[in-house]
Amino acid sequence: MSIVCLGIEGTAHSFGAGLVSSKGEVLSNVWDMFSPEEGGIHPREASRHHSDLGPKIIGEAIEKAGVTFENVDLIAFSRGPGLGPCLRTTATVARTLALKLSIPLIGVNHCVAHIEIGCLESRFEDPVTVYVSGGNTQVIAYAGRRFRTFGETLDIAIGNMLDTFGREAGMRFPAGPRIEIEAKQGRNYHTLPYSVKGMDLSYSGMLTAAKRLHSEGIPLNDVCFSVQETAFGMLAEISERAIAHTKKKELLLTGGVARNNRLTEILRGVAKRHDAKFHRVTPSLAGDQGAMIAWTGILQYQVGDVIEVAESQVLPKWRTDDQDILWRGE
């Protein structure tokens, strides 16, 4: 018999609710991204957004799925990593629902959820995953019951770098899409720090340098072009090494920055060179949303990975490789 999980996401700027069945059908997926008029994301303001809009978003998700709360069998929530105030608001909503409906509560790792929803969509079994978003930049592969982080940013995430540079150039959050449009018109490459350290990378130096180029009057489209080519080139290098090392035959691109077509093109080339299949997660499942939490909740539930409300404290620093993945093989 098929069961239905309500997944609630709220680690950072977005609050989302999605319903997914144990057959892997996404029944609904509703979210709203907090986008301040100016400036970046303040954790407390974002958490207020979540508590103000959360009930409406959950109601819409239930309605769009064509079910009632009585049809929901499980509640899953994004337990971490993320911003403390946002996580706590989200967890409070999830606990309340689980208690009220007397159904199991499941704490989901946000990064693992990005991988699992990508695997559901692509039917990939064991990919190297490039997870790029506002708060995370990681190259991940499964080994020995954990999703191992093969490489990651040592300072800021790629999306954060794009958004911060964009803000400096007068763009509203999130700036990634605007930068992509500008970059298409760019022709002249200006050197920026290419900072790959072993399997890790760093984006803060290139952020400073890109801001400098902009303030020196280099055309915005050329700066955006240079930022993209450098930032994506760095990612391609560590992804390629992860594929070469693990010999895995699938490359998955996920997270909000996966919406970028140039990055997709570059990584598709990496996969091709290594005879690996490539999949870019569809935009509606790439960013932060509830369906990925719901689907991972179902996978965890099937192996008994549920938590008691009293032990469901949030984990703001929960690492991708800090969770035993009980639903995958050795």
Q: Which of 133, 239, 260, 312 binds Mg ion (CB under 5 A)?
A: 133
Q: Which is nearer to ligand AMP, 5 or 132 (CB)?
A: 132
> What tokens appear for 276 in the block?
């690996």
Q: By CB under 5 A, which span of 153-161, 237-245, 260-268, 286-294 interacts with Mg ion?
A: 286-294
Q: By CB under 6 A, which span of 82-90, 99-107, 156-164, 318-326 interacts with ligand AMP?
A: 156-164
Interaction between residue 29 and Mg ion (CB under 5 A): no
Q: By CB under 6 A, which span of 49-57, 206-214, 241-249, 251-259 interacts with ligand AMP?
A: 251-259
Output the CA–CA distances (angstroms, integers) from residue 309 to 47, 86, 177, in the order listed.
20, 18, 39
Interaction between residue 296 and Mg ion (CB under 5 A): no
The 80-119 contact track toward Mg ion, x by CB under 5 A, reads ----------------------------------------
Report what 162 binds from ligand AMP, Mg ion, none; CB cut-off 5-8 Å by kind.
ligand AMP
Q: By CB under 5 A, which span of 14-22, 90-98, 133-141, 276-284 interacts with Mg ion?
A: 133-141
Least Cβ distance, residue 289 to Mg ion (angstroms)? 9
From the CB of residue 149, how many other CB atoms can be counted at a distance below 10 Å? 19
From the CB of residue 18, how many other CB atoms can be counted at a distance below 10 Å? 30
Q: Which is nearer to ligand AMP, 155 or 307 (CB)?
A: 155
Calculate Rg over the CA atoms of the chain: 20
Element (H, E) at 38: none
Least Cβ distance, residue 73 to ligand AMP (angstroms)? 27
Interaction between residue 207 and ligand AMP (CB under 6 A): no
Burial annotation 244-260 (CB, 10 A radius, 16+ → b, else e) = eebebbbbbbbbbbbbb
Interaction between residue 287 and ligand AMP (CB under 6 A): yes
Q: What whole-number distance in Å separates Cα of residue 207 and Cα of residue 222? A: 15
Longest dimension (CA), the chain: 63
Interaction between residue 177 and ligand AMP (CB under 6 A): yes
Q: What whole-number distance in Å separates Cα of residue 83 and Cα of residue 89? A: 10
Q: Which is nearer to ligand AMP, 74 or 207 (CB)?
A: 207
According to DSSP, the β-strands at 250-254 and 128-132 are parallel
DSSP 131-171: EE-SS-EEEEEEETTEEEEEEEBSSS-HHHHHHHHHHHTTP
Interaction between residue 176 and ligand AMP (CB under 6 A): yes
Interaction between residue 78 and ligand AMP (CB under 6 A): no
Q: Which is nearer to ligand AMP, 114 or 248 (CB)?
A: 114
Length of the chain: 330
Least Cβ distance, residue 22 to ligand AMP (angstroms)? 25
**For residues 80 and 52, is the Cβ–Cβ distance under 8 A?**
no
> Roughly how many angstroms between the first and final C-alpha of the chain, as a whole number?
27
Least Cβ distance, residue 305 to ligand AMP (angstroms)? 24
Q: Which residues bind ligand AMP (CB under 6 A)?
A: 14, 133-135, 159, 162-163, 174-177, 180, 255-257, 259-260, 287-288
Task: Provide the binding-site residues for Mg ion, judged by CB under 5 A.
Answer: 133, 288
